[in-house]
Structure 1
Amino acid sequence: MSGSWTGSGFGGFDPRKSGSGAGSGLFDLLDQLKEAFDQKVGSATSSTRVSKGDVRAAVLALLAEQPMHGYQIIQQIEERSGGSWKPSAGSVYPTLQLLADEGLILAEESGGRKTYSLTAAGQAEADEAGGRAPWQSQGTKGGSRTGLGKAGVDLAQAAAQVGQSGSPDQVKQAIEVLEEARRKLYSILAQD
């Protein structure tokens, strides 16, 4: 191992040691990492809060592709923004009603769900936007910081599972993988 980690910085957990205590120490480490990541990333992404106009533009951009129901719209925005933006039903459905009132969309009920589609006027307004959707401007440097956070949390959860259920040898292997991942992440920054 590289020896670059010390036990004092992570609540007494020394990743070079394995055994029955490693699992609980790993959970402490993961909680600390998640807190630090959330604080740093949370402050960096707080400025990416979207405005009401962005919900409107997102709805128009999606409906320009195909008719959708409200829940599909919410899912598509979240998916296309890499998880950095998931508008609430409380912002999407009033926007849909407003667009219908303006004559930009039509709602057809089928199977207990309303499916929304653009009218000619709605298509014209979507075309004026030039095809640029609000989720394309979310995040930074072409990627989503929140998407990075989710990937980091997912990795931490997998590591925690190994720490809880894995054998001492599996825990040792997981530590090696995590250290390699850390080195690779820093090498990405070094490329600039």
Structure 2
Amino acid sequence: MTHSHSGASCTQDPGSFLRGLAGLGMAGHRPGGFGPHSRARRGDTRAAILRVLAEQPMHGYQIIQEFSRRSNGAWSPSAGSIYPTLQQLADEGLVVATETGGKKVFSLTEAGATAVSELGEEPAPWDVAAASGDVTGLLGLRDSGGRLAAAVVQVGKSGDRSQVDATIEILDAARKQVYALLAQD
């Protein structure tokens, strides 16, 4: 279902708004390295998972929280990057999952412990992410945009026509205010 307002269209596909932000570099990350608009390379995510599991068994969400905590919020990988990497590590025999309290808890195997020892003195990926910091404030901007996107998605999922129309008006006004801000000297 598509609604039109002021020449712009807004689809009620809940993911379309987020995909639009992702296309602008706002909801997600660009590949390569760390920073406000970056994401860890697969090898970095892999090494980071092995390192935290060397300390204690964890489920996927705990791993995500731990990376965010250790990087001071500079690196918070998605479940879409963590769980496939955990599966790959399990397929390689480096981790094993056990069901605990309704959750899969992952721990290292002997081969996984060996893989951790082979990482040597490489800096931990979360340390690299934390060192990049948020010198431009883009992490806060991205987070705020993500929270706004989540609210818009919720309106798209459960709002009635009047709520959708009101949300469009709010977003149009906010867009104009942001452009006015940019136009200031």
Q: TM-score if structure 2 supplies the norm length?
A: 0.52
Counterpart position of 1:133: 124
Structure 2 vs 1, CA of residues 57 and 87 (structure 1 numbering), >3 Å: closer, same or farther? same
1:91–1:67 CA distance, 2 compared to 1 (3 A): same
Task: Give the alignment of 1:13-92 within 5 angstroms.
Answer: 45=35, 48-92=38-82
What SS is found at the alignment partner of 1:49?
coil
SS of equivalent to 1:114: strand
- Deviation, 1:148, is 6.4
Q: Structure 2, unaligned stretches of length 5 or more?
A: 1-25, 142-185
- Contact 1:67 1:118 (8 Å CA) reproduced: yes
Alpha-carbon distance change, 146 to 121 in structure 1, aligned in 2, over 3 angstroms: farther
* Residue deviations 1:21-47 (CA, integer Å, cap 9, x gap): xxxxxxxxxxxxxxxxxx9xx9x9357
Percent identical across equivalent pairs?
50
Kindly state the Cα deviation for residue 50 of structure 1 after the two structures are TM-superposed.
1.5
Shift of 1:48: 4.4
CA–CA distance in structure 2, aligned partners of residues 46 and 65 of structure 1: 27
**1:144 — aligned with what?**
133
SS for the counterpart of 1:109 is strand
Q: In the alignment, residue 124 of structure 2 is paired with which amino acid?
A: A
| Richer in helix (by share) | 1
* Cross-structure match for 1:159: none
TM-score by length of 1: 0.50
Segments of 4+ moved more than 2 angstroms: 44-49, 146-152
Letter in 1 for 2:41: S
Aligned to 1:113: 103
Gaps of 5+ in 1: 1-38, 153-192
Cα distance between partner residues in 2 of 1:79 and 1:133: 13
Q: Secondary structure at the match of 1:103?
A: coil
Query: Between Structure 1 and Structure 2, whose CA radius of gyration is higher?
Result: 1
